[in-house]
Amino acid sequence: MVKNVKQDGYNTSLAAEFHVLSVLHRLGYHASLTLGNRKAIDIVVETETRTLSIDVKGMASRTNWPLDNFESENRPNHFIALVSFNNKIRDPSVVPTVFLLPARDVPKFFYTNPKGNRRTIPFSTMRAKGPKYLEAWESLADPKPLPRSTKRLPRQV
């Protein structure tokens, strides 16, 4: 483990983005990291039928992911990846926990502080109420086409 290297929020965010990008490539997706410091979309994913966007929120601990500026719930192909390094960000042998959810589902997990000036998603809330989003990489897959009917239509005479 590397000592005497300062860990800050910027490094945590980058580590989270690269972890998600790595998993996407391991699953065979065509994914690209977007550039910039203030961006709403961190990763763009191209599938056979659609283009998806992912906003990655990373934290070194298991407290709260800040989402003060979240306003994307009406975009059907937008996802949020909530990445926690589980208080072990300096240990590369520890795999982060990832909750991957469609943007439309994000507001139901919000916590707003009593002052009303911070909006977060607590790690504990996702563990308790969002287990279906834990490592939910399959939610990015293209929708399956409806099965074709095998019934034959009656012959017209």
Q: Would you kindly state where each structural domain of the chain is located, as residue ranges?
A: 9-136
> Considering only CA atoms, which of 66, 71, 45, 74 is closest in space to residue 139?
45
Q: Which residues pair with 122 in a beta bridge?
A: 64
**Over 80: is that where the pLDDT of 151 sits?**
no
Distance CA(86)–CA(122), nearest Å, equals: 13
Largest CA distance in the chain: 85
Distance CA(21)–CA(19), nearest Å, equals: 5
Q: For the segment 27-77, what is each residue's pLDDT rounded down to a tens digit? A: 999 999 998 777 779 999 999 999 999 999 999 999 999 998 887 668 889
Q: What is the arithmetic mean of pLDDT over 127-151?
A: 84
Res 69: pLDDT = 83
**Over 80: is that where the pLDDT of 147 sits?**
no
More confident residue, 134 or 145: 134
Q: What CATH number was assigned to the domain covering residues 9-136?
A: 3.40.1350.10
Q: For the segment 77-131, what is each residue's pLDDT rounded down to a tens digit? A: 999 999 999 999 999 999 999 999 999 999 999 999 999 999 999 999 999 999 9
**Over 70: is that where the pLDDT of 152 sits?**
no
